[in-house]
Amino acid sequence: MRLQIYTDESDGGERLIRAMKQEGVTVVREETEDADAVVLFLNGQESGFRRLETLRIKWQCPVVVVGHEERVYCYEEIRSLELGADDYVPAGTASNVLLLRLQRLFRLYRGQNGPFYYRNGLLECRDKRDYEWQGKPLCLTGKEYQLLHLLLTHAGEVVTLQEILRQVWNQKEEATDALNTMLRKLRGKLQGTPFKIVNRYGMGYQITAGQ
């Protein structure tokens, strides 16, 4: 298992890294897109939740949040689960317990044939090439699905117009009008969700997930 750990260099984070390595787990500190699971240590500040939001809309793997207190802090637990964490444990949880939780979640994810949660009920249905919001399909066309998937894959980043045209239409300029029409329709289908497609003028497009 390749485990991505986000920590503020706390003693708990460093202890977990050492313990996981002793268990034969490959721990990566730099951000990567091929990790099997993610552990995020909260720091008691809003920045921890913002990072969780970004992770959840970008990554398709289990995310476990470790609280900043050695007891279950209800606000942190509820907020973490609302933002899409797969599990929450208080600080000081034994590393072998956390590893068992991660392994269980990893098996569940591997057993899924298609759907992966991104955030707050937005579900990718790969077999149908569509997304669902709170159980209701968005009813995307093939290219709408490609565009939304591309933007979500690069959540928090600006995707250039040239990259969108290359990825979705396999061309550079001729499909600009078609893209503008599709963006209007896709924004309409995303109404009622926290997701917004923002035009970063002169740069490209970015998907955001506000409250």
Of 63, 84, 110, the one marking the end of a domain is 110
| Per-residue pLDDT at 116 exceeds 60 | no
Do 20 and 84 lie in a common domain? yes
Of 94, 110, 126, the one marking the end of a domain is 110
The CA–CA distances, whole Å, from 151 to 34, 94, 130, 194 equal 18, 37, 14, 14
| Per-residue pLDDT at 135 exceeds 80 | no
Do 7 and 31 lie in a common domain? yes
Q: How many domains does the chain have?
A: 2
What was the pLDDT predicted at 113? Answer: 45
Q: Which residues contact 131 (CB under 8 A, 6 or more apart)?
A: 122, 123, 124, 125, 137, 138, 140, 145, 148
Do 105 and 125 lie in a common domain? no
User: For residues 172 and 89, which has the higher predicted lDDT (pLDDT)?
Assistant: 89
Do 157 and 84 lie in a common domain? no
Do 122 and 52 lie in a common domain? no
pTM: 0.53
Of 110, 144, 171, the one marking the end of a domain is 110
Do 150 and 169 lie in a common domain? yes
Q: How confident is the model at residue 197 (pLDDT cuts 50, 70, 90)?
A: very high
Do 42 and 142 lie in a common domain? no
Give me the domain span that covers residue 13. 2-110
Per-residue pLDDT tens over the stretch 97-114: 888 888 888 777 766 544
The enclosing domain of 169 has a CATH number of 1.10.10.10
Do 38 and 63 lie in a common domain? yes
Residue 114, strand partner residues: none
Per-residue pLDDT tens over the stretch 141-184: 999 999 998 998 787 789 999 999 988 888 756 678 889 999 99
Single-letter residue type at 188: G
